[in-house]
Amino acid sequence: MPDRGELLTCTGLWKSYAEPVLRDVGLTLAAGEVHALVGENGAGKSTLARIIAGITRPEKGALTLAGAPFAPASRADAERHGVRVVMQELNLIANLTVAENIYLDQLPSHFGVVDYATLHRNAREQMQRVGLGHIAPNRPVHTLGVGQQQLVEVAAGLSRRCRLLILDEPTAALTDSEVELLFAQIARLRADGVGILYISHRLEETQRIADRITVLRDGAVVGTRPVDDVSLDEIVRMMVGRDLSDVQPRVERTLGAEALRVEGLCRGQTVRDVSFAVREGEVLGLAGLMGSGRTETLRAIFGADRRDAGDIYLGSSPAPARIRSPRDAVRQGIALLTEDRKEQGLLLPLAVRVNATLARLGAVARFGQWLDPARERTAAARLVDALGVRCHSAEQPVATLSGGNQQKVVLARWLFRDCRVLLFDEPTRGIDVGAKFEIYRLLGELSEQGKAVVVASSDLLELLAICDRIAVMSAGRLAATFRRGEWSEDLIMQAALSEHMGAATA
Amino acid sequence: MSNPTERQPAWRAMLADYLGMAVVIVALIVVFSLLARNFFQAATFRTIANEIPDRVIVAVGMTFVLIIAGIDLSVGSVLAVSGAVLGACMALWHWPLALAIPACLAVGLACGAANGLVSVGWRIPSFIVTLGMLEVARGAAYLVTGSRTQYIGSRIEVVADASVLGLSLPFVLALAIVAAGQFVLSRTVFGRHLIAIGTNEEAVRLSGIDPRPRKLAVFMLCGLLTALAAVVHTSRLASANPNAGVGFELEAIAAVVIGGTSLMGGRGSVVRSFLGVVIIAILSSGLNQLGAQEPTKRVITGAVIVAAVIADHYRHRLGSKSQH
C-alpha cells in the first residue's frame, strides 16, 4: 500500500434508529488505499457508508477529510468535497438513457439545450472503462439487465473526479468477467491516489483487492487488519463471534406430525431447488445473507409470487396442495407475515380493529356478510388483549402505533384466521429490543399450540435463540440445515457464504 | 364491547361527520333566503328534489368506485346510452316498460363490466379505461337513437309522476339507494373489503382476499346504478336524448369529493356524497334565483368545490389528531 497519508478519518461515530446501529466506530482510510468493510447483515456497514457520503448524519463523532473537519450536509455537499458513493440499491432513472443517467447532474449544454454529441462521446468513454462499450449510450436504462444497470451506476460514480469512492456491494449482480473489469477500474483509481471504501459480503473479493479490512459487528468495529495478515476463517470468526448470553435459548419440546413440506421449489434465479419440511410445534429458521432468497422462498410458498417448479405438501395429505395465490394459501391454513409490514401488511390509516379482523370477517358477521359491530369489537378487544398490543383502544389507527405494536396487529390478524402454518419474514425488523422479546415469546406460544413456524431473519442471534432448526440459504439454494445443538455461528456463516466461496475456488 | 365510554367517540365522530355538511346546507339556505326573495318556498325545494335523484344515484356508484381508488369518467355517456336503449325500446320498438327497463339496466351493467374487466384484467388505470368508455358509450348513444331525441311520452312519465308518501318515486328511490349504499359500505364484509382494497390493495391480496372480483363488482355496480339513473332521467324528460348526461361524471365526482371521499381511495361515505349533491343543487338553484348567468355560476361552483376539499383536509386532520 503506497503511503500517501490519511485521507479520511472517522472517530467515535454513533448512530441509532430504533436501537444503536453504530457504536463508537472509528476508521481510517489512506489515499490510494482499498479498504474493505465487512460484517453481517445489519452490522452497520451501509449506515457508515451513508454517513461518509453525507446521506445520513451521525449523532456523535467526527469525520476529517484530508486533515480538515468534514461534516457533509447532504450527498451533494459530500460530492462537492470529492466523496462519491455507488449505492447497493440502484439510483438510476429507468426511462432516461445510459448517457443521461451517467451525467445527470452535469449534462453538457448550450443555452439549456443538451449537447448530445458531447454527452454521448463522454458517456461512451466512461462506459468502455466498465465494460459497457458494446452498449449504445442512448439506450434507455430499463432495457438493460440488472448487472449492466449496476455497471452504469459504477460508471456514473467513476465519471466524476473524486478523492474518495464508496462502493456498497458493487458486485452483487455482476458476472465474473464484469467483476474483473470493475477490479481493473478500482486498481486504476487506486494508482491515481483515490481512497476506496469497498463494502461486500464476498470475502474472496475483499481478500483479492483490499489493502486492509475492517470487520463490523453489531455496529461496533471488531478490528482492522492488513488483508495479508488475516485468513478467511479468521474474518468469519470476527464477523460472528458474539455474546449469546443476553438471549435465553428456548426449551426443547416435543414435535408433532409434519405440517408443511416443500419439494424442489424454484423461482427464477432467486430460489433454486429448495426443499425442507416443518413439523407441528417446530420453529424453523431461514438464515442467509441479503439476497440469498429467503423472502422469495416464503413468498413462493404462500403463492404471492408464481413459482416455476416445486410442490408443497400440507399435513398428512399425500397430494401436493394447490396454491396459486395467497387466497389459496390462506384457505389451506398458511399465513405470511411480510417483511415490509407497512407496504404489504397493514391498512395504516385504519383502526386496529379493522386490521385485526380483515382476514376472517365472516366470523364477526351475520350470515357471513352483515358485519356485527358488537361481535367485531369484542373479537378485536380480545386480540389486543391476548397479544398485549399497546393502544388506547382498538379504534386507534394503526399508523399511530410503534413498530412492535404494529407487528403484533399483523400477528393478531393471522391468529384470528387460525392458520396452522405461519411464515414470518423478518418479524422483528425495525422493532425495539423490548418488543422483540415479546414477539419471541408469542412465537414460542404459537409453537407450543402446535403451529408450524418458519422464520426468515437476517439477525442470526435471533434465529439461534428461537429456532429448533436453522436452514441456511446461499444464493438461492438451501446450503445446509442444522439442528439445535449441532450449529455454531461459524458453521452457519460458512454455509451462508458457501455459494460465493465456491465460485472463487472453482 | 358493552363499555359505553368506548362507544361515545364513534357517536361523536358520526355527528362530526355529518354536522359540517349540514351546517353548510343550512347556511346556504339562509344566505339565499336572505338574498333572493322567492328562494325560501316549497316550490324551490320541490324543484331541487325533482332534479337530484339521478345525480344522487350516480354519485352513490361513483363513491364506491372512488373508495377502491378507481374513477369512472364514463357515467355521463353510460347514462346516455342506457337511456337511449330505453328510448329505442319504447319509442321505436314499442316494448312495454317492464321489458324496456331491464334492457336499459343490462346495458349499464354491461358497460360497467367492460370497464371493470379491462381495468382489472390488464391492470390499466380506470381513468384511461373509463375515458375510452366515455367516447364509446356516447357514440353508441348516437347510433342507437339515430342522433335524434326519442320522444316516449306518458308511458315513461309514470315513473317520474308516481309518488310514495307524498314524495316522488325517483326521490324515494334515490334515498333508498343512499341508505342501502351506506349500509353495504359500512356494515357488510364486501364494503369492508372495498375500504381495505382502497387503503392497501397488496396487503389485502396478501391477507388471502382476491381484490379483482371485488373491483369488478364495483364497476358493475356503478354501471348498473348509472342505468337506473338513466331511467329516472329519461322519465323526467319523457324522452331519451343522446346528449343526456354530458359533464355528469365531473358533477358526480365533485359531489362525492365535497362529501369528503378521497380520490386516493380507502375513505368515503355514501351519505356524505348525497349531501354533496344537495349542496351543489342548492347552490345552483340559489344562484339561478339571484339571476346569475351560467358563466358566473360555473365560476362560483368551481370555487366552492375546491373550498370544500380544502375544508375537508382540515376536518380530516383535526379528526385524526383528536384520536390520539
Who has greater pLDDT, A161 or B68? B68
Give residue B159's pLDDT. Answer: 87
Model pLDDT, residue A250? 58
Domains A1-82+164-241 and A258-505 share a fold: yes
Mean pLDDT of B202-225: 97
* A469/B165: higher pLDDT: A469
- What pTM did the predictor assign? 0.79
Mean predicted confidence (pLDDT) in B197-204: 96
Give CA A18 to chain center in angstroms. Answer: 17
Q: What is the mean pLDDT of chain A?
A: 87
Place of cell 439476497: A291
Residue with cell 465456491: A502
Per the model's pLDDT, the better-predicted residue between A343 and A240 turns out to be: A343
Task: Using CB atoms, pick whichever of A327, A368, A371 lies closest to residue B209.
Answer: A327
Q: Do A345 and B187 lie within an 8 Å CB cutoff?
A: no
- Give A233-262 pLDDT, tens digit per residue: 788 888 876 544 445 555 667 788 999 999
Q: Would you say residue A1 has pLDDT above 80?
A: no
Residue type, position A113, single letter: V
* 8 Å CB contact between B1 and A381: yes
- Give A354's contacts in chain B (Cβ within 8 Å): 192, 195-196
8 Å CB contact between B78 and B54: no
Digit-coded pLDDT (tens) for A35-63: 999 887 678 888 899 999 998 899 999 99
CB contact at 8 A, A291 and A337: no
Calculate mean pLDDT across residues A62-75. Answer: 91
pLDDT of residue A246: 47
Q: How far is B244 from chain A (nearest CA, A)?
A: 37
Determine the distance in angstroms separating the CA of A464 from the nearest CA of chain B, rounded to an integer.
28
The pLDDT assigned to A128 comes to 87
- Identify the DSSP state of A97: B
Distance CA A187, CA A396 (A): 57
Q: What is the mean pLDDT of residues B150-165?
A: 86
What is the model's pLDDT at position A4?
53
Whether the pLDDT of residue B139 is over 90: the answer is yes
pLDDT at residue A18, as a whole number: 62
Domain ranges of chain A: 1-82+164-241, 89-160, 258-505
Q: Is the pLDDT of residue A308 over 50?
A: yes
Per CB-CB distance under 8 Å, the chain A contacts of B205 are 304, 325-326
A137-169 tens-digit pLDDT: 999 998 887 778 888 888 888 887 788 999 988
3-state SS of chain B is CCCHHHHHHHHHHHHHHHHHHHHHHHHHHHHHHHHCCCCCCHHHHHHHHHHCHHHHHHHHHHHHHHHCCCCCCCHHHHHHHHHHHHHHHHHHCCCCHHHHHHHHHHHHHHHHHHHHHHHHHCCCCHHHHHHHHHHHHHHHHHHHHCCCCEECCHHHHHHHHCEECCEEHHHHHHHHHHHHHHHHHHHEHHHHHHHHHHHCHHHHHCCCCCHHHHHHHHHHHHHHHHHHHHHHHHHHHCEECCCCCCCHHHHHHHHHHHCCCCCCCCCCCHHHHHHHHHHHHHHHHHHHHCCCCHHHHHHHHHHHHHHHHHHHHHHHHHHHHHCC
pLDDT, position B252? 94
Q: What 3-state DSSP class applies to A73?
A: coil
pLDDT of B322 higher than 60: no
Buried b (16+ CB within 10 A) or exposed e, B235-263: bbbbbbbbebbeebbebbbbbbbbbbbbe
Summarised one tens digit per residue, pLDDT across range A464-477 is: 888 999 999 998 99
Q: Could you tell me the fold of the domain covering A258-505?
A: Rossmann fold (3.40.50)
The answer to whether A349 contacts B9, with C-beta atoms less than 8 Å apart, is: no
At residue A277, φ and ψ (nearest 5 deg) are -140, 150
Crossing angle between the packed helical segments B169-187 and B53-67, to the nearest 10 degrees: 20
| Res A503 pLDDT > 50 | no
Taking an 8 Å cut-off on Cβ atoms, the answer to whether A377 and B208 are in contact is no
- Cell numbers that stand for A470 in this block: 436453522
Residue A333 has pLDDT above 90, yes or no: yes
Taking the C-alpha atoms of residue A31 and residue B204, their distance in angstroms, rounded to an integer, is: 52
- pLDDT band, very low/low/confident/very high, at A382 (cuts 50, 70, 90): very high
Q: What's the CA angle centered on B184, arms B50 and B264, to 5 degrees?
A: 90
pLDDT of B3: 41
Confidence at residue A21, expressed as pLDDT on a 0 to 100 scale: 83
pLDDT of residue A306: 93
Give yes or no for residue A372 having a pLDDT over 80. Answer: yes
Give the mean pLDDT of A129-137: 86
- What's the confidence (pLDDT) of residue B9? 55
Report the residue from B10, B192, B266 with minimal CB separation from A349.
Answer: B266
CATH class of domain segment(s) B38-322:
mainly alpha
How sure is the predictor about A129, in pLDDT bands with cuts at 50, 70 and 90? confident
| Whether B67 contacts B185, CB under 8 Å | yes
Give the mean pLDDT of B164-179: 92
- Say what the pLDDT of residue A241 is: 66
Of B2, B203, B266, the CB nearest to A345: B203
pLDDT confidence tier of residue B10, bands split at 50, 70 and 90 = low
Give the residue numbers in B contacting A (CB under 8 Å), as ranges: 1-2, 6, 9-10, 187-190, 192-193, 195-196, 199-200, 202-210, 266-267, 320, 323-324
| Of A15-19, A337-341, A448-452, the least confident | A15-19
pLDDT digits (tens, 9 = 90+) for B255-269: 999 998 988 999 999
Among A157-161, A173-177, A282-286, B240-244, the least confident range: A173-177
- pLDDT at position B6 over 60: no
Per-residue pLDDT at A404 exceeds 90: no
Nearest by Cα to B167 from B38, B276, B46, B5: B46
pLDDT of residue A312 exceeding 50: yes
List the single residue in B192, B208, B266 with the smallest CB-CB distance to A327: B208
Q: Do B1 and A365 touch (CB under 8 A)?
A: no
* pLDDT tens sequence across A267-301: 998 999 999 999 999 999 999 887 889 999 999 99
Contact A329 B324 (CB under 8 A): no
The more confident residue out of B75 and A252 is B75
- A1-82+164-241 fold: Rossmann fold (3.40.50)
Amino acid, single-letter form, for residue A368: G
**The pLDDT of residue B317:** 66
* Statement: residue B313 has pLDDT above 80: no
Is this prediction's ipTM beyond 0.90?
no
The answer to whether the CB atoms of B192 and A330 lie below 8 A apart is: no
| CA distance linking residue B44 with residue B41, whole number of Å | 5
